[in-house]
Chain A
Amino acid sequence: MVEQTEKGVPAAEAPLPRGEDPAAEGHRIAPLRGDLSNTAAFFWGFTCIAVVLAVWFVITAGPPGEAEKRMVSPTTLPSVEETARAIPRVFGERKLVTNTLVTLKRVCLGFGLSCIVGVPLGILAACFPALRAFLAPLMVFGRNIPVAALIPLTFFFFGIGEFQKVMFLFIASVAFVLSDTAAAVLDVPQRYVDTALTLGASRWQIITKVLGPLAAPSIFNSLRLLFGLAFGYVMLAELVKFGSASGGLGDLINMSQRRGEREPILLVLVIIPMVAWAIDRALWWLQSDLFPYRYGGAGLIPRFCGWLLHGRRTEFRP
């Protein structure tokens, strides 16, 4: 193991047998920035969940029917058992799955629009300083504007339907997509551009064959992180609304709040991070597979595409 070298024991000295040096034992359990085995990592993760549940259980415990004897009143925080009992209702009557899909559709449309506009514009902004300077005020404004304050305006601009929610997400995220893309392209070292120039590439070829592809892994990584941001914004758009029920997880929370039900809100709050986390992991897998040279994935998709395109000449090894 590494604990001996970490303590700076000279190589000539015989290392102490494990367990005899109390300091070394401490280094083994809590190594400084070291790797943790999967088992240990899961153990600590589950311990955290267990601690949270235990605290929740203790502060809401009490004999049935005698709510006033609880440490925290059920009007503030329902007990674990009460919340669990609400699960069928949230999935059935409140259509949790449908509402989740409605929310996801809005994020995908709004954020997708941001990507369609922001990524090409960001690449061009990084390549042409004049365009970058032209867009700079918009980027500063877009990144620093308090997004919640945008909602009233979007009602005037885009009405109260789906279009307003999609456009709100677009406005809230496009500046981040644009500036992150531009930063990723600017981060590509100049030596690649110089190399391409000495190989006879034109300016346009440098953008499409060198800068774009070399920045793609970083751009994808930014978009993955920004998707999480957009997923947070969509709740805002769904919580602040006019008119009748429009669906979505934010609407579900809104409805429960008006009816004075705490349990569905708690459940939705647990579901949202889980959905966001699952999407993030799926995107991460996609990212590492698409860019194996950067993120060490298996490269199944690129190799499969290469095999489809070039047929027999390249070998497809799953």
Chain B
Amino acid sequence: MTGAVPDNRPNNRPDTPGSIRPTPVDPPGDGRPAAVEFRGVTKIYNEGTSREAVAIRDVSFTIPDLPDKGEISTFLGPSGCGKSTVLRMVAGLEPQFPPTRGTVHVLGREVVGPGADRGMVFQDYTSFDNRTVLGNVTFGLECRGVPKRQREAEGREWIARVGLDPRRDAAKYPHELSGGMRQRVAIARTLVLRPRIILMDEPFGALDPATRLDMQDLLVRLWREVEATVMFITHSVEEAVYLGDRVFVMATTPGRIAAEIRMPAAAAPARETQIEPWFHEQVSRLQAQLESIEAAASRPGE
């Protein structure tokens, strides 16, 4: 299942702490449960009928829970390879959840439904239109019953952390915000709940390239602060390489994981990193892999 890709991380880069970071594929031996673990997970819709459709078949992988660190796993693959299915299964969202066969464990416990311990950011803007930025960011705390004064203080803090102005933007409504600002609100709304797992389903897919780079930097910075495990779906190979500590390459018919590749952690901002030679090398290697997967999928008789 795991693609045999040689580890060509640039070990001579002293400014890249990730280049020497051990990233074990298997759960650490200290008995600490994995952050996310899929064991033989299959999802078939309308099984046994003429409308049977296989979303993913026999998907198994492990994302370790690194003490005080967490990491970003990116999921790459053609449309229909089941990337969203995998993510929504971790979130416990129907109809992808529950799996037809196999088990999904998060931090050692089987997923039984959605919960605030697994925050999710969607590609489509999901700001609650009737709430201000502050009202959106504090939604989860409100549901938990945190007192108003306390949740608004926390909300303002997170509005500032995602790069918005708490004084000017807190009282704005989502329709007054740009796409990038809306996604910042969505990220703040998720992170204010301190989830251990953060699921991101192409969150920057609808943004223009410049905003996208800013958001990537923001994510890397925030992730270091919150030390959570991030699962990030993207169509952009560059994004997958820049953000990912490991990249899962997925293939179609049936949806499955074709390769798992470890990546060096990027220390420099997105704009600087993404012009470096090693970065380009990784991107073209992955691009070739994706193209061969797509070519295999489109061959007749497969």
* Binary B-proximity of A200-223 (CB < 8 A = 1, otherwise 0): 111001000110011010000000
Q: Which B residues are CB-close (under 8 A) to A200?
A: 115-116, 140, 143-144, 193
Of the residues A191, A192, A194, A202, contact of B143 by C-beta under 8 Å: A202
Closest to A296 in B: B175
Q: Convert B134-149 into 0s and 1s, putting 1 for each residue whose CB lies closer than 8 angstroms to a CB of A.
A: 0000011011100000
- Closest-by-CB residue of A relative to B173 is A293
Instruction: Give every chain A residue within 8 A of B122 (Cβ-Cβ).
Output: 191, 194-195
Q: Which residues of chain B are near A202, meaning CB under 8 Å? A: 143
Alpha-carbon separation in the docked complex, A198 to B117 (Å): 8
A201:B128 contact, CB within 8 angstroms = no
- Top 10 A-B pairs, shortest CB-CB distance: A200-B116, A199-B140, A197-B114, A198-B120, A195-B126, A213-B130, A293-B175, A201-B143, A293-B129, A293-B173
Contact of A283 with B by CB under 8 A: no
B174 at the interface (CB under 8 A from A): yes
* Chain A residues whose CB sits within 8 angstroms of the CB of B139 once the complex forms: 196, 199, 201, 209
Asked if A293 and B174 make an inter-chain contact with CB atoms under 8 angstroms apart, the answer reads yes
Measured between beta carbons, the chain A residues less than 8 angstroms from B281 are none
Nearest-CB residue, chain A, relative to B88: A194
B124 at the interface (CB under 8 A from A): yes
Residue A314 CB within 8 A of the other chain: yes
| Contact B142 A209, beta carbon cutoff 8 Å | yes
In the assembled complex, the Cα of A196 lies from the Cα of B140 at a distance in Å of 8
A18 to B56, alpha carbons, bound, how many Å?
61
Which chain B positions have C-beta within 8 A of A201?
Answer: 139-140, 143
Q: A191-B126, A209-B142, A216-B130 are in contact. Are A198 and B91 (CB under 8 A)?
A: yes
Query: Contact: B189 with A199, CB < 8 Å?
Result: yes
Can you name 27 A-B residue pairings with CB atoms under 8 Å?
A191-B124, A194-B88, A194-B93, A194-B114, A195-B120, A195-B122, A195-B126, A197-B93, A197-B114, A198-B91, A198-B116, A199-B119, A199-B190, A200-B115, A200-B140, A201-B139, A201-B143, A209-B139, A209-B143, A213-B128, A213-B131, A214-B130, A216-B130, A291-B130, A293-B129, A294-B129, A315-B171
For A189, list chain B residues within 8 Å (CB).
Answer: 124
Q: How far is the CB of B51 from chain A (nearest CB, A)?
A: 20
Cβ contacts under 8 Å, B114 to chain A = 194, 197-198
- Report if A214-B128 is in contact (Cβ < 8 Å); known contacts: A196-B139, A199-B119: yes
Q: How many residues of A contact B (CB 8 A)?
A: 24
Given known A293-B129, A293-B130, A293-B175, contact A199–B116 (CB-CB < 8 A)? yes
Given the known inter-chain contacts A191-B122, A293-B175, please indicate yes or no for A198 contacting B130, CB distance below 8 A. Answer: no
Residues of chain A whose beta carbon lies under 8 Å from any beta carbon of chain B: 189, 191-192, 194-202, 205, 209-210, 213-214, 216, 291-294, 314-315
What is the bound-complex CA distance between A202 and B119, given in angstroms? 15
Contact B129 A199 (CB under 8 A): no
Q: In whole Å, how far is B182's beta carbon from the nearest beta carbon of chain A?
A: 12
Q: How far is the CA of A293 from the CA of B130 in the complex (A)?
A: 7
Interface status of B57 (Cβ within 8 A of chain A): no
Compute how far the CA of A241 lies from the CA of B190 in the bound complex, rounded to whole angstroms: 61
Give CA–CA (A199, B144) in the complex, Å: 9
Q: Bound complex: CA of A315 vs CA of B168, how far in Å? A: 11
Beyond A199-B139, A214-B130: 7 further Cβ-contacts under 8 Å?
A189-B124, A191-B122, A191-B124, A194-B88, A194-B126, A291-B130, A293-B129
